[in-house]
């Protein structure tokens, strides 16, 4: 792994991988969205509203997945001081925040016709909102210091503290009474979702993940380039 | 031998994260049922909340208990956890998913053992199926409309 933690080597590799990841992402989205809108059947209770799930569930998974990725990057940055880890964490935060917001928004749109309310303060919805706040806090803390290294350290610590929220989100529906339904896919006795609906959901979930890899590569390359420009500028100013 | 700085930082991070985990775990354990969105009918029957207190009740709409008054929006039904049931009276529009056997969450005040509801929310279960699959299950006699009820039993 140390080999790829070298920014120069990473940039070379990223340039090769990126178009492939982009192609796979677009292909998966085309298949996934087509299935979600056209081949997937309506639900026996929810009717056509069930199609919101094909965006809602992968978004929620992405929100949690990105947070886990950000926390791992933060731990690596704090402990091993790998130059790429800080950049990776920083690049992940807005992506995770966007998908967490999307999960909350699509859930709200589904909740109104199905439950009869846009929002309820149950454990699942509240813990998901806290996840969004953790992302926002992470991003705010990063920019709150004049010294970028201190900002990176402070936000990395926040990211690690917030990890405790991930199992709370996952098990909130089992530990407490909630309005949100319990897990349908990742549970002990197998999925309780019809295969005709499960397949498009899984394809969408994979499409979201490859999208993350794609956008992560773009953002890390951009951040590394920006760092280079900043160093050149500093040299210009000081070297005169 | 002195610890390497890297290892020191790793230990520090691991201890820190586990301490935060334990702290949050204790807080949530102490909060216990306070985090739950609703009470079961058994809770309501046993604890008898005062008429001033707003309570949230959750359970299944008892089969055959729904009574609609002619010419008004008043609906009466019973909410059950298959052990006890509580009479609910509600005036207003019900969500699409409201039906007998469905899980619901309702907020209101308990007056003389009847919950006068201000809000009725439908709960959706974790089963996703096309209508044809439900038909097929019904025809083969494997359809269990009480899946939700079983889950409530297990949850207790």
Say if residue B54's pLDDT is above 80: yes
Position A113 confidence tier, pLDDT thresholds 50, 70, 90: confident
* Class of domain A20-239 as given by CATH: mainly alpha
Does B46 share its domain with B20?
Answer: no
- Its pTM surpasses 0.90: no
Which among A183-197, A205-219, B135-149 has the top mean pLDDT? A205-219
Of the candidates A15, A235, A207, the residue with the CA atom closest to the CA atom of residue A99: A207
Say if residue B153's pLDDT is above 50: no
Q: Does B127 touch chain A (CB under 8 A)?
A: yes
Name the closest residue on chain A to residue B94, using Cα atoms. Answer: A116
Which residues from A are below 8 Å from B119, CB to CB? 116-117
Q: Does B73 touch chain A (CB under 8 A)?
A: no
pLDDT of residue A104: 97
Does B28 share its domain with B47?
Answer: no
Any domain includes B88: yes
Does B13 share its domain with B52?
Answer: no
Could you tell me the two tokens for A31? Answer: 């298949």
Q: Does A131 touch chain B (CB under 8 A)?
A: no
Say if residue B149's pLDDT is above 60: no
Of the candidates B91, B90, B119, the residue with the CA atom closest to the CA atom of residue B105: B119
Task: Give the model confidence (pLDDT) of A47-60 as tens digits.
Answer: 888 999 999 999 99
For chain B, give the number of residues.
156
Does B59 share its domain with B84?
Answer: yes
Domain span holding position B100: 37-144
Position B1 confidence tier, pLDDT thresholds 50, 70, 90: low
Any domain includes B20: yes
Mean pLDDT, chain B, rounded, equals 83
Name the closest residue on chain B to residue A71, using Cα atoms. Answer: B17
Which whole-number Å values give the CA distances from A21 to A15, A55, A65, A208, B35, in the listed order?
11, 20, 18, 11, 42
Does B87 share its domain with B110?
Answer: yes
Which whole-number Å values give the CA distances from A202 to A7, A28, A187, A209, in the listed order?
33, 10, 15, 11
């Amino acid at each position: 792994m140390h080999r790829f933690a070298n920014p120069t080597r990473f940039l070379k590799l990223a340039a090769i991988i990126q178009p492939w990841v982009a192609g796979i992402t677009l292909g998966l989205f085309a298949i996934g969205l087509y299935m979600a809108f056209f081949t997937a059947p309506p639900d026996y209770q929810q009717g056509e509203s069930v199609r919101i799930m094909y965006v809602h569930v992968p978004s929620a998974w992405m929100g949690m997945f990105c947070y886990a990725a950000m926390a791992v990057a933060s731990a690596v940055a704090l402990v091993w001081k790998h130059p790429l880890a800080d950049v990776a964490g920083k690049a992940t935060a807005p992506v995770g925040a966007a998908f967490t917001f999307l999960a909350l928004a699509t859930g709200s749109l589904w909740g109104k016709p199905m439950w009869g309310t846009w929002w309820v303060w149950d454990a699942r919805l509240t813990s998901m909102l806290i996840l969004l706040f953790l992302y926002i806090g992470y991003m705010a803390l990063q920019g709150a210091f004049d010294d970028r290294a201190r900002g990176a350290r402070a936000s990395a610590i926040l990211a690690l503290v917030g990890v405790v929220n991930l199992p709370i989100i996952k098990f909130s529906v089992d530990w407490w009474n909630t309005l949100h339904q319990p897990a349908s896919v990742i549970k002990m006795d197998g999925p309780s979702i019809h295969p005709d609906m499960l397949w498009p959901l899984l394809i969408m979930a994979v499409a979201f993940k490859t999208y993350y890899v794609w956008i992560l590569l773009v953002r890390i390359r951009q951040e590394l380039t920006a760092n280079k420009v900043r160093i050149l500028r500093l040299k210009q100013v000081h070297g005169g | 031998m002195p610890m390497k700085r890297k290892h020191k930082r790793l230990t520090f991070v691991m201890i820190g994260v586990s301490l935060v985990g334990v702290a949050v775990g204790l807080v949530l354990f102490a909060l216990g049922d306070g985090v739950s969105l609703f009470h079961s009918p058994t809770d309501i029957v046993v604890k008898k909340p005062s008429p001033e207190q707003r309570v949230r009740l959750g359970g299944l709409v008892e089969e055959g208990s729904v009574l609609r008054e002619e010419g008004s929006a008043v609906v009466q039904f019973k909410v059950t956890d298959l052990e006890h049931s509580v009479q609910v009276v509600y005036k207003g529009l019900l969500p699409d998913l409201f039906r007998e056997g469905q899980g619901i969450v309702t907020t209101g005040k308990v007056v003389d053992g009847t919950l006068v509801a201000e809000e009725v929310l439908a709960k959706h279960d974790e089963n996703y199926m096309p209508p044809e699959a439900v038909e097929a299950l019904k025809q083969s006699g494997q359809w269990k409309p009480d899946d939700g009820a079983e889950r409530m039993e297990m949850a207790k």
